Amino acid sequence: MKYIIIWFSIISLMIIGCEGTKTAEEYFTVAEVERNAKNIKVSLENLDNLIKHYPEHALAPQAQYLLGDIYMNDLRDFQNAIISYNKVLENFAGSAHEAQAQFMVGYVQANILSDFEQAKVTYEIFLEKFPDHELAPSVQFEIENLGKDINDIPVLKHIAS
């Protein structure tokens, strides 16, 4: 009986040890699958683990950006969305997601939190850093229309009707 308990303990430890760390790709795939299944907490945990275990991996900036997207769109937690997008800017400068994260911070500030002053600052930083980015015209449009009602923006007036 004593040997059975010892072997069971050894096998249990081996199984737990094998489940510890997934590859970056596995974390990312599981996060996407769980998000689609509306298991948001599990999705967030996998993205956090990817960033924690593989901060230099090519998927890390995308995972950090996706955290912001989940907080914004799935959880409607706009403060954590901004925090997550800002981590892209801080920790993954130069990545393909930097410009999008900068835009999203301004977008949340302007269109959700109505913090037009801060949004203008954020958008101006975007234009300084990414003047030729495909989102630059949208950023310029946002700056020109900060705080305006949709009915006061001629190009958008038809949407409100």
| Superfamily for domain range 22-160 | Tetratricopeptide repeat domain (1.25.40.10)
Dump pLDDT digits (tens) for 65-118: 999 999 999 999 999 999 999 999 999 999 999 999 999 999 999 999 999 999
**End-to-end alpha carbon distance in the chain:** 78
Domain ranges of the chain: 22-160
Distance CA 14, CA 22 (A): 15
What's the pLDDT tens digit per position in 23-56?
Answer: 999 999 999 999 999 999 999 999 999 999 999 9
Q: Which residues contact residue 102 at a Cβ distance below 8 angstroms, ignoring those fewer than 6 apart?
A: 85, 89, 122, 125, 126, 129, 130
- Tell me the C-alpha to C-alpha distance, in Å, between residue 40 and each of 45, 51, 89, 103, 126: 9, 17, 23, 24, 30
The 3-state DSSP class for residue 66 equals helix
Give pLDDT tens digits for 137-161: 999 999 999 998 888 877 776 665 5
The rounded distance, in Å, linking the Cα atoms of 30 and 98 is 24
Contact call for residues 107 and 143 (beta carbons, < 8 A): no
